[in-house]
Amino acid sequence: MDGSTGRNDTGDGSVTKPYATINKGVAMATTTGLPNIYVAPGVYLETVAISDSPAGVSIQGGWRISASGWTRDCSPGASSNTVIQGGAIGVKATGAVHRSGLIYLTVRTVPTANPVAADASGTSLVGVLITGDNSKFYLTHVVVSSGNASSGGAASAGPSSTACFGGGSICGTGAPGTTPAAGAPANGSGIFGVTGYTPADGSPGAQGGAGASGTPPSNPTCSLYNNGCSAACGTCHVGQTAQICGTPGTCGCGGGGGAGGRQGRGGGASAAVMVIGVSTKVVVTASALSSGNGGAGSGGGLGGSRSLGYPGNSGTNQCTSSGFCSAFGCCGLFCSSTFYYCGSNQVCGLGGSAGGTGGSGASGSTGGGGAGGPSYALVTIGATSTNVDAATTLTYGSGGPGAGGAVAGGSGPRLTRP
C-alpha cells in the first residue's frame, strides 16, 4: 500500500502498482489468501476494518518501496512513519479467529471527539477494537493512541405547561400540584460491549402534579313570579306561579404541571485497545498504548414551568316580568263592580358567586446527571487471554467527572472484567 502513489482503481497490489488504501489491501488479502500487507510510510486517513481470513491478515508498516522492491525500514522510529489515522475507531478487528495483527505501525483516533448534540451521550474513542469469540490478534512494535472522548450533550429543559384541568362544575379543594422528586443520577458507570462503550445516562425528571380545581361556588337564589295576567270589569286573573333562578357560578380550573427535564448524558470513554470476547488471545509486544481523557457527564435539564390555576366565574342574574292585579275605581251598572287592570314588575333570581381559583400546577423536576467516561490504556472484557510484555508501556488520561452526584469515570492502565 502506498497512499501517495497507489491507486485502488488501477492498482493490483504489486510493488509497481500498489493500492492506495489499507482497507483495499485487507479486502484483497482476504480474497486471495495472501496474509501480508506491506504499507509504505505515510498517513492513511481511514478506519481499518479486519475480518476473518483463512490465512489471517498481517498489516505491516516499516516498509519502503525501492528500485529493488519492498525493503524493510529498521530505523528506531519506523513505527511512527506509517500512521493509520482513523475516526472514533482506528482499527476494528471483528471475528479474526485466524491469527491476524499489526506490525510497526502507529494507530490513532481523532485527537478529540467532536462535541455531541443536545440530549446525546458522549462519543467514545478506541484506538484498536478487537471483538469476537476465539479471536487471535497481535500488536508488535505498534503505537496506539486514543484521543479525548467527548462530554455528554446538554440536557434539554422539559416543556412548560399551558394546560388547565377540571373547573366548571367539577370542583375541588384548590390545592396546588405536588412537586416531584428530581431524576436520579446515573447508577454506576457505563458498559463496555461489542460495539464499544455505552455511556451511563441519568434518569429524566418527573412531571409536576396538576393543581386541583377551585372550591365550589355558592348556590344561586330563586324568586317566584306570576306568569301573566288578564283583567276585566269585576274580574282579574294572574297566571300560574313559577320560579326563576340565577345561573350557578363555576369553579376555577387547576394549573398543569411542567414536564420533567431530560436526563443528563454520560461522557464517552477513551481506550487505546479494547478486547471483547470469549477464548480470545491477544499478544502485545514492544508497543505503546495510551488513552486520552474520558468525557464529562452532563447535568440534567431543568423541569418545565407550571401553569397557574384560573379563577372561577360568577353566575348571571335571570329576570322576568311578574303580572299582578290592581283595583282602580268601579265599573258596571251603577258602578256596581270593581274595575281591575293588570300590572307587572321585574322579578330576578340572583346568580351564584364565583367558585374558588384552581390550584397552581407544580414545575417538573430536574433530570439526573450523567456519569463521567473512563480512560484506560487496555480494556479486556470476557474470558480473554491478553499477554503484554515488559517492553510495552501503558499510559492513560483522566476519567471524566460525573454531574449531579453521578460517578466519575474510572482510569488506569488496565481494566479487566469477566
Q: Which whole-number Å values give the CA distances from 156 to 297, 298, 372, in the listed order?
A: 14, 11, 19
Q: Does the pLDDT value for residue 296 go beyond 80?
A: yes
Q: Does the pLDDT value for residue 78 go beyond 90?
A: no
Predicted confidence at residue 72, as pLDDT, reads 85
Average the pLDDT over 238-256 and give the result: 94
Average the pLDDT over 193-208 and give the result: 92
Q: Does the pLDDT value for residue 317 go beyond 90?
A: yes
User: How confident is the model over 113-129, as pLDDT tens digits?
Assistant: 999 999 999 999 999 99
Of 395, 121, 60, nearest to 269 (Cα)? 121
Predicted confidence at residue 39, as pLDDT, reads 94
Predicted confidence at residue 263, as pLDDT, reads 98
Predicted confidence at residue 128, as pLDDT, reads 97
Rounded to whole angstroms, the maximal C-alpha distance in the chain is 156
Residue 73 pLDDT grade (very low, low, confident, very high; cuts 50, 70, 90):
confident
Predicted confidence at residue 65, as pLDDT, reads 82
Percent of the chain with pLDDT over 70: 100
Looking from the CA of 412 toward its CB, the CA atoms found within 13 Å total 6
Q: Does the pLDDT value for residue 198 go beyond 80?
A: yes
What's the mean pLDDT when you consider all of the chain? 93
Predicted confidence at residue 251, as pLDDT, reads 95
Predicted confidence at residue 366, as pLDDT, reads 97
Q: Does the pLDDT value for residue 384 go beyond 80?
A: no
Predicted confidence at residue 210, as pLDDT, reads 95
Average the pLDDT over 27-50 and give the result: 92
Parallel, antiparallel or unpaired: strands 270-276 and 375-381: parallel
Phi/psi at 73 (nearest 5 deg)?
-95, 110
Q: Does the pLDDT value for residue 410 go beyond 90?
A: yes
Average the pLDDT over 325-335 and give the result: 87
Predicted confidence at residue 66, as pLDDT, reads 78
Of 143, 196, 149, nearest to 399 (Cα)? 149
Query: What is the distance between the alpha carbons of residues 65 and 82, in angstroms, rounded to a whole number?
Result: 13
Predicted confidence at residue 329, as pLDDT, reads 87
User: How confident is the model over 345-374, as pLDDT tens digits?
Assistant: 999 999 999 999 999 999 999 999 999 999
Predicted confidence at residue 10, as pLDDT, reads 86
Q: Does the pLDDT value for residue 394 go beyond 90?
A: yes
Average the pLDDT over 44-60 and give the result: 95
User: Could you tell me which residue, 196 or 151, shows the higher pLDDT?
Assistant: 151
Predicted confidence at residue 71, as pLDDT, reads 86
Parallel, antiparallel or unpaired: strands 288-291 and 393-395: parallel
User: How confident is the model over 125-183, as pLDDT tens digits?
Assistant: 999 999 999 999 999 999 999 999 999 999 999 999 999 999 999 999 999 999 999 99
